[in-house]
Structure 1
Amino acid sequence: MTQRLMIIDTDCGIDDAQAIMLALAAPNVKIVGITCCFGNTDVDNVCQNVLRVLSVCQRTQIPVFRGAAASLVGAIKPFKDHFGTDGLGDVLEDRDSDIWKKQVQEEHAVNALIRLVNEHQGQVSLVALGPLTNLALAIRLDPGISQKLKDLYIMGGNMEGKGNVRPCTEFNFFMDPESAYIVLEEYLCPTHLATWEFTCRHKLSWEFFDELTNQDTAASRFMKTITSKCWAFSREPAASIKDVLFGSGFVSYDAYAVAACVDSSVITESMECAVRVETQGELGRGLLALDPTGRLDKSHRVFVMTTCDLSKFRAMLMASIKQP
């Protein structure tokens, strides 16, 4: 089996943690680095969260890099506490920041991203699970970086104009619309998008979630702990915008992008089209506009995921939880 080299760029919340576990469990994947960005929580918490996941899975040899602490433009936005103020449900006790900081690499995440891609030209799959600030900064420092990537997978944006932080805007793109715009205009490698609505339309049952978090493994116990008091995992009717729009169910948002990267057959249908991120307006700032009819006159087209093989996806999630 050919080994896929992967870099994960993350704002590690609960769904990022599960996505990272999925990549760690894939026998054909070697994670060469994890770069951290603000998003679900501040960037220092993100670094700690990633290190916690690697520790649970006994994979602490993977280097972790601290990256952007805020968006390219404007004041720092208050962090949304969808997954708790620390990103992992506010339930973990071992959160001495000084201990965790010693394990983070001194090299900045953007520099590390550029270096790792240049060291493995044409081989690296970059999976972006949070705001795209690190990626935008990387292409400003190395304009040729996208041609050196194998491909790019992004969880973010929307395909139906539905949003979770604004009526029309998804969280990751809303947190840094300018970076999302830059990445989708200037990264010209094969690009695959798992939008918010796509993930919600492929929700899983709470019965499967219970099975997932009741395995006798360290990873399963970890997931059960960090979801135990998090309102995002409430099963009450209409507990969230997701439930109102798509019905109740368990959605591991970021894991869909990682699963698609690990095994392309998980995505059974995609729409290939040009896209553009809206950076203006009160309601539409951060909106991902799809252009299936070619009105934008853009040569670069991306693959917007539309249909997922849920049986394969469930199997990958279950494998991710059965570690170390």
Structure 2
Amino acid sequence: MALKKLWLDLDTGVDDAQALMLALADPGVHILGISCVHGNTPLQNVLQNTLRVLRVCGRTDIPVYKGCQRPLLSPKQHASDYHGKDGLGDVPDPDPPSLDLLQKKKAVPAMIKAIKDNPGQVTLVATAPLTNLAVAVQLDPTLPEKLKALFLMGGNVNSRGNTTVCGEFNFVADTEAAFVVLERYTCPTFIAAWEFSCRSSLPWSFCDQWLSQDTVKARFMKQITAFSRGTAQSEDYLSTQSTAGHGFNSCDCYAMAAALDESLMLENEEVAVSVELEGAHTRGMMVVDYMEQLKKQHKVFLMKTFDLDKFKGMLMRSLQ
């Protein structure tokens, strides 16, 4: 059977690392490349973190590319309060991988070429601010029609934010890019929104089981997850993030897992969406057009329910 071809666009913090390790553990996948972008942590950290995860998994053969280091127009921001200043829980790396492992070619041209060379075969998974994707479609407007599918982690469906009053981090971190992507990418598009991931969170007891596996990968994940777990279980976080649920929520893993195995998506909702660009409180909010007033032909698939038992199995295998 032919391998499923993926291109990954990451801002590697802890949940991106978890998602990347899901993909690396799937024997049916060929990762054509990884484009890095600003987001959870500054770009230089994202590059280092991505190489670090690949090294732990013995996969530094996968090409990693340097992408956009700032948003199109939005103020630059990061998520160090949740992921740690370095994006991976501030766990020291005594022997960091050399940045010489990075490809010389820039991320956006590399992404465009990979998709062009494999028309209709590449699934693009983006778990980060969408700057690289927005720049790519500006350079090659035909790019979306060459994609097999696009899987995104981002946006929100009930106007409940995790970064601003009404905005989810990836869409707030580059609001114009999110708008461009939702307008211009007309390939089959699947979105794991913030509230969906919250509703689908897993028990902390499963997290303990997942991290207690006696492997190098599990010990690494336990180390880098400690900071964000402490934050997620703190009273201050739970009091301000009422939508976050009271369990283990690795947001990016839902988009990645669905891209790897679409059968995990038990229920999706097909609807047109956009992004609010101007509101004082609603800038970055995903607009869900149930009344069809936007008159958009292209509709996305919003994930609604997930096969959590199968998802747990994928997570367990990712650390074995």
Q: CA deviation at 1:77?
A: 3.2
Q: Is contact 1:268-1:307 (8 Å) kept? A: yes
**Quick check: 1:60 aligned with 2:50?**
no
Q: CA deviation at 1:93?
A: 2.5
Distance in 2, Cα, partners of 1:16 & 1:299: 31
Q: Is contact 2:179-2:274 (8 Å) kept? A: yes
* Secondary structure of residue in 1 paired with 2:108: helix
Residue in structure 1 matched with residue 72 of structure 2 by the alignment: 72
Distance in 2, Cα, partners of 1:63 & 1:6: 12
- Give the TM-score normalised by structure 2: 0.96
Distance in 1, Cα, partners of 2:158 & 2:259: 23
Q: Is contact 1:133-1:179 (8 Å) kept? A: yes
Amino acid at match of 1:58: G
Distance in 1, Cα, partners of 2:191 & 2:19: 15
Identity of matched residues, %: 47
Q: CA deviation at 1:95?
A: 6.5
Q: Alpha carbons of 1:86 and 1:119: their partners in 2 closer, same or farther (altered >3 Å)? A: same
Q: Is contact 2:76-2:173 (8 Å) kept? A: no
Q: Alpha carbons of 1:65 and 1:279: their partners in 2 closer, same or farther (altered >3 Å)? A: same
* Secondary structure of residue in 2 paired with 1:200: helix
Deviating above 6 A after TM superposition, structure 1's stretches of 4 or more consecutive aligned residues are none
Residue in structure 2 matched with residue 153 of structure 1 by the alignment: 151
2:120 to 119, 122, 140: 122
Q: Is contact 1:203-1:250 (8 Å) kept? A: yes
Question: Please, what is the CA RMSD of the aligned residues?
Answer: 1.6
1:245 to 243, 246, 253: 243
Amino acid at match of 2:76: I
- After superposition, residues 266-285 of structure 1 pair within 5 angstroms as 266-285=264-283
- Give the TM-score normalised by structure 1: 0.95
**Quick check: 1:8 aligned with 2:13?**
no
* Secondary structure of residue in 2 paired with 1:313: helix
Q: Is contact 2:82-2:227 (8 Å) kept? A: no
Distance in 2, Cα, partners of 1:242 & 1:316: 30
Q: Alpha carbons of 1:149 and 1:9: their partners in 2 closer, same or farther (altered >3 Å)? A: same
Comparing 236-245 and 149-158, the one that deviates more? 236-245
Amino acid at match of 2:175: P
Q: Deviations over 1:180-219 (max 9, x none)?
A: 0000000010000000110010000111101111111111
1:258 to 248, 256, 270: 256
Q: Is contact 2:74-2:176 (8 Å) kept? A: no
Q: Alpha carbons of 1:74 and 1:234: their partners in 2 closer, same or farther (altered >3 Å)? A: closer
Comparing 2-11 and 72-81, the one that deviates more? 72-81
Q: Alpha carbons of 1:174 and 1:254: their partners in 2 closer, same or farther (altered >3 Å)? A: same
Q: CA deviation at 1:281?
A: 1.5
Q: CA deviation at 1:228?
A: 2.3
Q: CA deviation at 1:78?
A: 5.3
* Secondary structure of residue in 1 paired with 2:92: coil
Distance in 2, Cα, partners of 1:69 & 1:240: 31
Q: CA deviation at 1:283?
A: 1.0
**Quick check: 1:194 aligned with 2:192?**
yes
Q: CA deviation at 1:239?
A: 3.0
Q: Deviations over 1:73-99 (max 9, x none)?
A: 144335543100110000122365xx5
* Secondary structure of residue in 2 paired with 1:303: strand
Residue in structure 1 matched with residue 142 of structure 2 by the alignment: 144
Distance in 2, Cα, partners of 1:81 & 1:3: 38
Comparing 129-138 and 284-293, the one that deviates more? 284-293
Amino acid at match of 1:315: G
Amino acid at match of 1:8: L
Q: Is contact 1:192-1:303 (8 Å) kept? A: yes
Number of residue pairs matched?
320
Q: Deviations over 1:40-74 (max 9, x none)?
A: 00111001111011100101100000100000014
Residue in structure 2 matched with residue 48 of structure 1 by the alignment: 48
User: Which consecutive residues of structure 1, in runs of 5 or more, have no partner in the other structure?
Assistant: none
Q: Alpha carbons of 1:78 and 1:305: their partners in 2 closer, same or farther (altered >3 Å)? A: closer
Q: Deviations over 1:148-177 (max 9, x none)?
A: 110000000001111001111000000000
Q: Is contact 1:232-1:240 (8 Å) kept? A: no
Q: Alpha carbons of 1:232 and 1:31: their partners in 2 closer, same or farther (altered >3 Å)? A: farther
Distance in 1, Cα, partners of 2:240 & 2:250: 12
Q: Is contact 2:66-2:102 (8 Å) kept? A: yes
Q: Is contact 2:129-2:171 (8 Å) kept? A: yes
Comparing 100-109 and 303-312, the one that deviates more? 100-109
